Amino acid sequence: MASTPVRVEEKSGPIASEAETHFVRVIVADTQAIFRAGLRKIFAVEDDIRVVGQAETLSQAMSAASKFSADVLIFEAALASNPVEAVSDLLRQTPALRVVVVTAGPDEELTLELFRRGAHAIVSREIEAEQLVDCLRKVAHGEPWLDNRGMHWVMEAYRTQGSRPAASRSKVQLTPKESVIVSCVTQGMKNKEIAQRVGTTEQVVKNYLRKVYDKLGVADRLELALFCLNNRIPNAPASASKPVPTSALSNSGNGSAASVPLLASDSPHKLD
């Protein structure tokens, strides 16, 4: 078993037309050698897709993403115990790379969370070869891609979030400290990163999030992000990103600070 990502050359013979053709450069990261081989065969007959690297572990995928100049990373969710965090890490490491996540089967919760964290496409192993090729081309051109089922899940989550009465939303207020944490969440930051940003502990951040969920009537981070999107809640101002003393946060939102109203939107934003 190779311990480092393997360079793969898919085409042979003259390549004089490369100057006129934009190739979609792909890294295939998957635990199953047979699946990687199958994808290489599929892409080998496409004139505009080239596999430039492959990986079979998470560490290899991270290394390949940094080493190879690629447009798209096909990333098997099973490579990581927490694929959502792994995708976030990959995108932080290589912001220009577009990530297509392959799941073992249809998974609504995983699809929604991956999409929220920045994955450009989520597909299952059930996908047809033609669909996958179409997916890669669209993702390479900056378009998100979901199958009909995934799109339904995202739209339902968005509609559910947007169905709450505007009158009740307009009355909701967050303290400045809560607003900073909400801003961090909508930027895709993990609790540990938020704790470091505001100068407190992960447990205190969790306590704040529970209070925010209760205030806004949301169940999780996805619904919180959708709420902010639907109600045009801006990110916290730059000054709020400076570390906040732990002592100031330990009161866990006791209301002593001035509150900031969350204004309801007349019309919802579209999901990017």
Q: What angle (nearest 5°) sits at the alpha carbon of residue 55, between those of residues 52 and 59?
A: 125
What's residue 77's pLDDT?
Answer: 94
What's the predicted TM-score (pTM) here?
A: 0.57
Q: What is the pLDDT along the chain (272 residues), one digit of tens a residue?
A: 444 445 444 444 444 344 445 789 999 999 999 999 999 999 999 999 999 999 999 999 999 999 998 999 999 999 999 998 899 899 888 988 999 999 988 888 888 888 888 899 999 888 899 999 999 999 998 888 888 888 888 888 777 765 555 444 445 678 888 888 888 888 778 888 898 888 888 888 888 888 888 788 777 787 788 777 776 665 544 344 444 443 333 443 443 333 333 333 333 333 23
What's residue 21's pLDDT?
Answer: 54
Domains and CATH numbers, the chain: 6-11+20-157 (3.40.50.2300), 164-261 (1.10.10.10)
What's residue 203's pLDDT?
Answer: 86
What's residue 150's pLDDT?
Answer: 85
What's residue 121's pLDDT?
Answer: 93
